[in-house]
Amino acid sequence: MNNNWVEYVGYLASVFIIGSFLTSKVRSIRIINFFGCVCFVIYGIYNGLLWPVIIPNGILALVQVYHIFIKKSN
């Protein structure tokens, strides 16, 4: 099976994370960063269970969901 797609998901994750730093709206930062974190979790799972990648990005994805959907904006 060809696993090149996993590498592309890792690169896509990096693009999302970098992109989140290039915008100034907090909501946009969180949404873009969320997609980067999810891509990194997928990358970590399908690239041999890379726990140091999966755990922090999974937690950060949950933090972003909390701030986007649950926490009330001021």
- The secondary structure of residue 15, as a DSSP letter, is H
Task: Please compute the mean of the pLDDT values over residues 8-36 and round it to a whole number.
Answer: 96
What percentage of the chain has pLDDT greater than the value 70?
95
Amino acid identity, position 72? K
Nearest-angstrom CA–CA distance, 1 and 8: 15
Determine the pLDDT at residue 18: 97
- The secondary structure of residue 69, as a DSSP letter, is I
Task: Please compute the mean of the pLDDT values over residues 20-46 and round it to a whole number.
Answer: 96
Determine the pLDDT at residue 3: 76
Nearest-angstrom CA–CA distance, 37 and 47: 15
Locate 72 and state its tokens.
């009330």
From the number of C-beta atoms within 10 Å of its C-beta (0-12, 13-18, 19+), residue 47 rates as middle
Structural domain span for residue 53: 4-70
Q: How many domains does the chain have?
A: 1
Residue 71 pLDDT exceeds 90: no
